[in-house]
Copies of this chain bind each other. A is one copy, B any other.
């Protein structure tokens, strides 16, 4: 992680919202597993939603070894973006409406994990990062499943965060207008876990399920 922006991570628009420090970037990645990965395929840009996780200064994502997305990303330039919407910002003029959000854009070259043991270790870190204690409760991963799973990662050395928070910024002359302005806060809500219809009798959701939070 570099504390100074590279040419392409330097936030051009509204750069008072920009942050380049590892703590901020890592905090946003750790708070929201959903990401959107951008890559080129047949000369056109693609954006695929998937889950990401972080280990130290690298970000990871995974999928089926048959995935077109993962194949197109391997050894190629990608952009991985994580966005947490925190609110709709309602101003007195259409022009000053905005959103409160925390986002990260990370650029780099995606590399495939080739060592099966390292791949399994990384999938464990992914699972444990979301649901501590779950990995060892699960049926053990088979060699065939590991083979059918591709894990990609890239160094977080070209990443930037952008954050907006707080009330609307209206034109000074507009504050006297009788128009409701403020923020509608948004968050990802996790509802009560729903048992699998085929769950064995007497099994309750473990703590890593009932305590799970994102955002």
CB within 8 Å of B: which residues of A?
8, 12-13, 34, 36-49, 51, 63-64, 66-68, 77-81, 83, 85, 88, 90, 92-95, 97, 99, 101, 103, 105, 107, 123-124, 127, 130-131, 134-135, 137-139, 141-142, 145, 148-149, 167-168, 170-171, 174-200, 203-206, 209, 212, 214
Contact = CB atoms under 8 A, between A and B. Distances in A.
A139 B167 CA distance: 18
A141 B149 CA distance: 52
A179 B138 contact: yes
5 shortest interchain CB distances as A-B pairs: A189-B189, A38-B47, A38-B45, A49-B83, A36-B36
A184 B174 contact: no
B94 A135 contact: yes
B198 A145 contact: no
Given A94-B127, A145-B95, A176-B200, A38 B46 contact: yes
B105 A47 contact: yes
Contacts of A168: 196
A88 to B, nearest CB: 7
Oligomeric state, in copies: 2
Contact of A181 (B180, B188, B196): B196
Given A47-B47, A64-B13, A184-B191, A123 B107 contact: no
A80 B189 contact: no
> Which of A43, A198, A204, A212 has the largest count of B CB atoms less than 10 A from its CB?
A198
Contacts of A97: 127
A96 to B, nearest CB: 9
B190 A188 contact: no
B188 A193 contact: no
A79 B45 contact: yes
B199 A181 contact: yes
